[in-house]
Structure 1
Amino acid sequence: MSKILLLTEGNLSNNFAGPGMRYFEFARALAKKHQVTLAGLSFDPDFSSPDVNVLKISAFNVINLGIKISVPNSFFRKELTKYDLIITPGGALRSFGSLTKIKTPIAIDLYNPWFFEMMSSGRSPNKKKITQNIKKVVEIIKEGNYFICASSKQRDLYIGLMLAAEKIDPEKLKIDPLLEDLIAVVPTGIPSTPPKANKKSLRSECPEIKESDKVVIWWGGMWDWLDPITLIKAIDIISRKRKDVKLVFFGADPLTAKDFSSKTVADSVELSKKLNLYQKQIYFISRWIPYAERANWLLDADIGIISHHKSLETEFSWRTRAMDYLWAGLPIITTEGDSIAALVEKHSLGRVVPYQNAKSMAEAILAILENPRDHERIKENIQRFSPSLYWENIVVPIHNFCKKLIRK
């Protein structure tokens, strides 16, 4: 048994976004074999976890080269030395300057290539800030002892960056030819406990949606690198044939992440109004759904949608929202181009459509809704495939790394 500190930049609350949720579930899965502490700078007052110890960090902020760095107090700096392993996102290592000064092994979690998100923002890119962040990625890789990422595609990307950071040399490759002891794929996963709903929250929130209607959902933020416009156009095509197919957008609050979503949300609302679909066949829910209540919403839907633009952000992404779709047994309709699309195609978990093709997306939605046998077959495929993404299974590489630490 190892002592593991999970240090996240994300807010630890009952309304998790992707980063906080990933570390909360990491903590629960790893706590079955290790002594785990979940730590962060930002907590909601009512947040707690019965499965793991929770530590709130007290820190002050300084600015270094235009980047905010959180400097933990002396208590936390001492606390860091008590662990056998620290697991933290790359961004957190960038923020917590003092982490690089301790001797505790650090596993850097690179599951989110945030630098591609910055480049894909709808706002004018800050070239200086992007350059600083790319340099920081190389610095982060130099500091890490072990690395995890979300997909084999990401692994290839980071091995390239490791070469740039001089992290790989001939001696290392003689011992570990495929770098399996250096970087592993640990995606965001799904709970092994099936979802249970105690009410139909979606229809309660949108009473205009009838019990007999078919519901397509966009689950998660409406970021600038995603493509809700094509989906809205697809619903417009469907509306000419069927009025009972309803689309619900979640995470439609432009203030949630104003740097990355405000224009996308505004454009989506404007288009749905222009097409006379707003509050008729297309609905927007701005508030964030509490993590513990998500089953009440997901199980009230029929299909989960992922739609994105052709970009490097897409190619190297791992869409967390897809995990909730799979957990709820929802067929996934996704745009081509990323790791999730490859899984959907390989394991027949839904449909994959071309970029910015509203006609193909409309046809895919109708094909699933109008063919109950096909719908059921997809749900069976999801049930067979899902165990490979259970949290207790995807953290196995971390267990293996801890065993190697103990042997040393």
Structure 2
Amino acid sequence: MSNGTHEHPRILICTPDSIGEQMAGPAIRALEMAKVLSAGCEVRLVSTQQADLTRAGITIAYADDDALRRHADWADAIVFQGHVLASHPWLSDARYVLVADIYDPMHLEVLEQTRYLSQDDREHVSAITTEVLNTQIERADFLICASEKQRDFWLGQLAALGRINPRTYDADTSLRSLLAVAPFGIGDEPPVQSRHGIKGTVPGIGADDTVVLWGGGIYNWFDPITLIHAIDRLAPRHPDLRLFFLGVSHPNPNVPEMEVSMRTRELAAELGLADRVVFFNEGWVPYAERADFLLDADLGVSTHFDHLETAFSFRTRILDYLWAGLPIVATDGDTFASIIREHQLGRVVPPEDVDALADALERSLYGDGEAERLRANVRTYADRMRWSTVLAPVAAFCRNPRRAADRGVESVRRREQRSLEIRVEALERSTSWRITRPLRWAAGKVARRAMRRAQ
């Protein structure tokens, strides 16, 4: 670790996701964090998966284990996501100041991701993922999550693991110096459209059509099926209505198409909507070009099921809707539902309710003056979600990196050793740790086999 005698703190940000023109949420968050922190710190952004992006003022690179060691020794503090600590357990060394970004409750995600695995495999991966997170929570000097609701959830886990103790409590009775809220954010600059990404460009979608946008990947914890049925119900009386799925093929090559994505395509075809009312973007929109698509939409939608993952999720695609000033229709139950209601950003509907969803879409899109009223509310609320604002707790810590008050406590060290032994043994039997969301590869493989058998 650096000795900290230089003018600007040296901050290493490490993600296991691919950094490039096409990026998913973890890499986007890491990049935007690097931009914000570079205002007062010397920043390096590395990916343990792939990096082929350049940004002025920021060093961006791919790092294998040897290279990551050199970057870590350079840094005053290390911000990491996902399975980085599990993949490189030497980072637990006491000389490093670690910031754990736990905005993604992976151990809840895998409960959905592993439904198509055997019970033994499912329990094994769930245990590994929980232990990966527990190790981060035990070792980190500072942690960040995505919402106050998430923070309450993570505080419970911190308490169970002994991180809420006399030393951390006496250092800060609010514990915000240990666990802070730093949500996903939106660009400080407004979106600018350089070309039409959807209207008048995608065959079957005219320049004057009304576009409902599904702004991201189609994953198993989402419910695009109810959405397809709602669109099918509305299309006969609104012939200009179009539904566009922005992303199908994930930019991380290790993440295949999920089972629900295949079911969504099949349903659109069965109902005669595919390539006529419902459209799928087969690739993944480059991050720098997403405004071209967002600004061609009239409304953003996010539908999901009623389950535990939903309760503590923070739907990052909704941030893009806010950035683009889009009215939002979303399923109830997650963090954004209460925000949409309170600030009148759109409409919230019960899970798996086709009638309610169809009605919400129709009122938001075709109600007299409704779309513009909602857009104005969205623009007002969006100002508080700029990256420079939401990442302020991270920037404050990185300007003065410090060890947690309970570093070196014997009880914590003993459990760290036990968890390290368990983790190493588990990782030797698993390839799931190589990517941020460990079960997409396995679940996708099982789903494809099942589909082939059914054909």
- Read off the aligned partner of 1:320 and give its amino acid letter: T
- The one of 225, 232, 239 equivalent to 1:236 is 232
Does 1:113 pair with 2:113? no
How far off its partner does 1:177 sit? 1.7
1:49 aligns to what? 55
Task: State the distance in 2 between where 1:258 and 1:292 align.
Answer: 22
Deviation readout 1:350-380 (Å, 9 max, x if unpaired): 1111110111111111101112522112111
Number of residue pairs the alignment of both structures matches? 393
> Is 1:251 the counterpart of 2:253 in the alignment?
no
Normalising to structure 1: TM-score of the pair?
Answer: 0.91
Residues 255 and 386 of structure 1: is their aligned pair in 2 closer, same or farther, counting only changes over 3 Å? closer
Unaligned runs of 5+ in 2: 1-7, 405-455
- CA deviations on 1:83-128 (whole Å, 9 max, x unpaired) are 2211111422222222112512101000001111111125236211
Aligned partners of 1:255 and 1:262 also within 8 Å: no
Letter in 1 for 2:277: Q
Amino acid at match of 2:48: L
Aligned equivalents of 2:283, 2:225: Cα separation in 1:
20
Contact 1:216 1:305 in 2 (8 A): yes
Whether the aligned pair in 2 keeps the contact of 1:148 and 1:183 (CA below 8 Å) is yes
Which residue in the other structure is 1:91 paired with? Answer: 83
Q: In the alignment, is the contact (CA less than 8 A) between 2:38 and 2:57 conserved in 1?
A: yes
Is residue 2:30 matched to residue 1:18?
no
Flag the structure with more relative contact order, 1 or 2, with Cα contacts below 8 A and sequence separation at least 6: 2
Q: In angstroms, what is the RMSD of aligned CA positions?
A: 2.0
Q: TM-score, normalised by structure 2?
A: 0.82
CA drift at 1:208: 1.3
Q: Quote the residue 1:123 is aligned against.
A: 116
Flag as ranges the 4+ runs of structure 1 deviating above 6 A: 254-260
Identify if the C-alpha distance between structure 1 residues 302 and 351 changes in structure 2 by more than 3 Å, giving closer, same or farther.
Answer: same
Q: Which moved more, 1:365-374 or 1:139-148?
A: 365-374
Structure 2 CA distance for aligned equivalents of residues 405 and 212 of structure 1? 52
The whole-number CA distance in structure 1 between the counterparts of 2:321 and 2:143 is 27
| 1:196-211 correspondence to structure 2 within 5 Å | 196-211=192-207
Q: CA 1:99 to 1:406, structure 2 compared with 1: closer, same or farther past 3 Å?
A: closer
Gap regions ≥5 residues in structure 1: 59-71
Q: Kindly, what percent of the aligned residue pairs are identical?
A: 32
Question: How do 1:93-172 and structure 2 match up within 5 A?
Answer: 93-121=85-113, 122-124=115-117, 126-172=122-168
Rounded Cα–Cα distance in structure 1 between residues aligned with 2:367 and 2:281: 29
Whole-angstrom distance in 2 between the partners of 1:28 and 1:308: 31
Going by fraction, where is strand more abundant, 1 or 2? 1
Q: 1:186 pairs with 182, 188, 196, which one?
A: 182
Query: 2-side partners of 1:151 and 1:211: how far apart?
Result: 38
Please show how residues 340-379 of structure 1 align to structure 2 within 5 Å: 340-379=336-375
Does structure 2 conserve the Cα–Cα contact (< 8 Å) formed by 1:87 and 1:107?
Answer: yes
Larger deviation, residues 398-407 vs 225-234: 398-407
Render the CA deviation track for 1:139-198: whole Å, top value 9, x for unaligned.
221111100000111111111111121111134323322211100000110001111111
**2:97·2:402 contact (CA, 8 Å) conserved in 1?**
no
- Separation in structure 2 between the aligned mates of residue 207 and residue 51 of structure 1, nearest angstrom: 40
Going from structure 1 to structure 2, the CA distance change for 1:102 and 1:205 (only over 3 Å counts) comes to farther
- Aligned residue identity for 1:200: H
Distance in 2 of aligned mates of 1:80 and 1:256: 24
Distance 1:290 1:361 in 2: 30
Q: Aligned partners of 1:226 and 1:261: how far apart in 2?
A: 13
2:332 aligned residue (332, 336, 339): 336
Aligned to 2:452: none
Contact 2:14/2:79 (<8 A) preserved: yes
Amino acid at match of 1:57: A
Q: 1:67 corresponds to which residue?
A: none
